[in-house]
Amino acid sequence: MKASSIANANIALIKYWGKRDRKLILPNNGSISLTLDSLNTVTTVEFDKKYNKDIFILNDREIKEGEELEKVSRHLDLIRKVGSIEIPAKVMSKNNFPTAAGLASSASGFTALALAAAKAAGKDLSSKELSILARQSGSGSAARSCVGGFVEWLKGEKKDGSDSYAVQIAKKEHWPEFRMITTVVSTLKKKVSSTTGMDQTVKTCPLYKAWVDSIPEDLEKVKRGILNKDFSLVGSVAEFNCLKLHAAMLTTRPALIYWMPATLEIIHSILSWRKKGLECYFTIDAGPQVKVICLDKDVQELIKRLKNINGVRKVIVCKPGTGPKLTDNHLF
């Protein structure tokens, strides 16, 4: 059977960095994100005997070997187990934005894969079941793309990971004015993946314990800020959390320096604009792109200013978006 789905990327306001279980992909800390409406992945999956092995086509190019194909196959194995099937699958996936450059393509990708593959295997999963499955893909943050709006990925305590999944803090309609403007300063694939980078941080970073210890307070503040639509609280805590993450990255051995000159240009600009009264904040993941946190009323002015910064190749405005959906528009 063939099934297709569409899933949105998400960007964390409070970041996940470091695992307590590398096989089940259980995080050392909880995280909070916004599911975005403009960055998505469409995926079609077909399980069929006519394929003699798993086939993975990403953005019109067949991935014949390597880590990406292994991750997809491993994820298909989980679904084959859930659906009690033993045949290979063809997977075709398309992102409408740069892949693996710190724009959370793996989150939307693995959520779309989990939903389409489960359906193709004859399974209708709840959002909790989907989130637990998507989390185990290799991209833990995929757990959060299984839910729309403002989302918390619960750290969980249990060894089997049954209490570590995403829940909704607020629907997208709760705060429709909230925006994230994604800047694209480079479309090159990052040199160190999140998976490798966070393992190195856990092992070598002298600041890592302080990072983990600081998270409960950040989670509480951002959750409160979202529920009260307190933009200054959400923005300032998200920005501080991002800087703590990058402090840990920078003090990992070997150092994880994901920023590029244009990344710093944007950071300095945002700080100066904010000082002069234009309220906006930044957040950055394991890549050079800066996501500007702002409100709808300031979007046009910010686009104008961002486009004037040297090195900014593209800006994409994202609103709060929905969770994943099945679609009849198959890619093959």
Q: Answer whether 168's CB lies under 8 Å from 150's CB.
A: yes
Nearer to ligand PMV, 5 or 28 (CB): 28
Q: How far is the CB of 27 from ligand PMV (least distance, A)?
A: 8
Q: How far is the CB of 216 from ligand PMV (least distance, A)?
A: 16
Nearer to ligand PMV, 6 or 12 (CB): 12
Nearer to ligand PMV, 22 or 307 (CB): 22
β 55-58/89-95 pair status: parallel
| Interior/surface letters 70-88, b for 16+ CB within 10 angstroms, e for the rest | ebbbebbebbbebbebeeb
Nearer to ligand PMV, 123 or 144 (CB): 144
Nearer to ligand PMV, 140 or 324 (CB): 140
The first and second tokens of residue 55, run together, are: 């086939």
Nearer to ligand PMV, 290 or 331 (CB): 290
Residue number closest to ligand PMV, CB atom = 141
Q: How far is the CB of 35 from ligand PMV (least distance, A)?
A: 12
Which residue is associated with the tokens 């249990």? 158
How far is Cα of residue 49 from the mean position of the Cα atoms in its chain? 33
Q: How far is the CB of 263 from ligand PMV (least distance, A)?
A: 14
Nearer to ligand PMV, 88 or 321 (CB): 321
Q: How far apart are CA 287 and CA 123, in angstroms?
A: 35
Q: How far apart are CA 76 and CA 152, in angstroms?
A: 25
Region label for 21, one of left (φ > 0), alpha (ψ between -120 and 50) or beta (otherwise):
beta
Q: How far apart are CA 204 and CA 62, in angstroms?
A: 36
Q: Answer whether 139's CB lies under 8 Å from 109's CB.
A: yes
Q: How far is the CB of 140 from ligand PMV (least distance, A)?
A: 4
| Interior/surface letters 99-125, b for 16+ CB within 10 angstroms, e for the rest | bbbbbbbbbbbbbbbbbbbbbbbebeb
Nearer to ligand PMV, 32 or 55 (CB): 32
Q: How far is the CB of 230 from ligand PMV (least distance, A)?
A: 21
Q: How far apart are CA 138 and CA 235, in angstroms?
A: 28
Given the rule CB under 6 A, which residues bind ligand PMV? 12, 15-16, 31, 106, 139-141, 194-195, 285-286
What count of other Cβ atoms lies within 10 Å of the Cβ of residue 305? 18
Q: How far is the CB of 152 from ligand PMV (least distance, A)?
A: 11
Nearer to ligand PMV, 195 or 269 (CB): 195
Q: How far is the CB of 122 from ligand PMV (least distance, A)?
A: 28
Q: How far is the CB of 39 from ligand PMV (least distance, A)?
A: 13
Q: Is the dihedral of CA 321, 240, 167, 225 positive or negative?
A: negative
> Across the strands, what pairs with 293?
180, 281
